[in-house]
Amino acid sequence: MVKFARKAIILSLAAILPAVSLSVQAIESKHRHAKKQVVHKKSAKIAANSKVVKRYVVVNGKRKLVTEHVALAPVVAEKPSVGDTAGLKHADPLSLQSNVAFVVDQTSSKVLFEKNSDVSLPIASITKLMTSLVVVEAHQDLNEQIEVTTEDIDKEKGTGSRLKIGAKLTRADMLHIALMSSENRAASALGRSYPGGLSAFVAAMNAKARQLGMSDTHYVDSSGLSSQNRASARDLVKLVNAAYQHPVIREYSTDSKYVVNPGGRPLEYGTSNKLVANPAWEIGLQKTGYIAEAGRCLVMQAMIEGRAIVMVFLDSKGKYSRLADAGRIKKWLESNKPQA
C-alpha cells in the first residue's frame, strides 16, 4: 500500500511540475516586461528633462568616451500679462509674437504696420527712455558724481543690482548703463538726484509726455519697475522721435559694452539688445524692457532699405521673441517695400 501510495504521489507531482514550471516562467516573463516598461518610462522621463552630453574621460591612462544625461533647468511659464488679460492676443499677417506692434516711417510719419497700437499698457524699462530725455533736456551736469543710496533699492519687484549701496558714478555713467543695460538703480539715482527729488522728476516726466502729445501715457517712477508706468505704442513712437534728437541718447542706447568704476573693482556692462551688435542691423536708438505685467518690450529706430523706421513691440512672449519680431518686420519691409 505504501509503495503504491508513493508511486501515486510521484506520478501526481510529475503531472503538476510542468504546469508549475510554466506558471513560474509566465510570472518571470511578466515581471521582466514590467521592468522594461519602468526602465522605458524612466528613460523617457530622463530624455524629457535632460540633454545628452558626450565627453572624454581618462581611465587608467586611456581616453574613454562617456555619455551623460545633464538635467535641464525647469521651464517656468510666464505669468499672464496685462495684454493677455485684456484679450489682445490674436493672429496677424506676419505671425508676430508681440501682442502690440507699431511700425512707422520716421521721415513721413506714415504707418506701415500696426497691431493694437492704441492700447495703453505697462512699458517696463522703456520708461528709461523718458528718464534719459528729462535728464538731458534739464541740462544737468553729466560729470557730477551721484551716489547710490538705500532709496534706490528695488522695493517694487525685489530685483538686485551690480551697483552696491555707496557706489558712486558720474551722471553720464548712470545714464549710459541705464539706457544700454537697463540698470535699475542707475535710473533710480538719476530721478532721485533731480532738483526737488524723485517726485519732481516724475512730474517732469509726465509734463514732457503731455508736451509730446502722449495722451495715453503715465509715469510713476524713473526705472519702469512699476506696472503703473504705461503708454500706447503710438505714444512711444513720439517718445522715440523726441529722444532721437539727442546724440548722447542715441550713442548710449546703442553701445554694446561699457566699463564703469563705482569704487573698487571696475564693472563691465553689456547691451540688453543683441541686435545692436548684429552687422545686419543699422540701429540708431533702442531700448528694451521687461516685467511680468508688461511682457517683453522693445522700441527701436533703424535704417532698413535706406528708410528710417521706428518700430515698437509690446507684450511679447519669450525671451527672444521681440527680437525675432523685429527681424520679421525687417524682412517684410525688405521684401515688400510698402509705401508710406
Q: Which residue has the cell 553729466?
A: 142
Dig out the grid coordinates for 179 from the structure. Answer: 539706457
Upper half-sphere CA count for residue 98 (Cβ side, 13 Å): 34
Phi-psi region of 282 (alpha: psi -120 to 50; beta: other; left: phi over 0): beta
Angle, helices 127-137 vs 197-211, to 10°: value is 100
Cβ-count burial of 56 within 10 angstroms (0-12 exposed, 13-18 middle, 19+ buried)? exposed
Dig out the grid coordinates for 290 from the structure. Answer: 521687461
Query: How far is 147 from 35, CA to CA, in rounded Å?
Result: 65
Query: Please, are residues 180 and 252 in contact by the beta-carbon 8 Å criterion?
Result: yes
Query: Please, are residues 285 and 253 in contact by the beta-carbon 8 Å criterion?
Result: yes
Nearest Cα to 67, choosing from 52, 48, 51, 50?
52
Count Cβ atoms below 10 Å from residue 327 Cβ, excluding itself. 15
- Polymer length in residues for the chain: 340
Query: Please, are residues 6 and 14 in contact by the beta-carbon 8 Å criterion?
Result: no
Contacts of 276 (CB under 8 A, 6+ apart): 254, 255, 256, 283, 286
Angle, helices 233-243 vs 197-211, to 10°: value is 100
Q: Which amino acid is at 71?
A: A
Residues with a known catalytic role: 125, 128, 182
**How many angstroms separate the Cα of 226 from the Cα of each of 155, 207, 251, 272, 290?**
10, 19, 26, 19, 11
Query: Please, are residues 231 and 120 in contact by the beta-carbon 8 Å criterion?
Result: yes
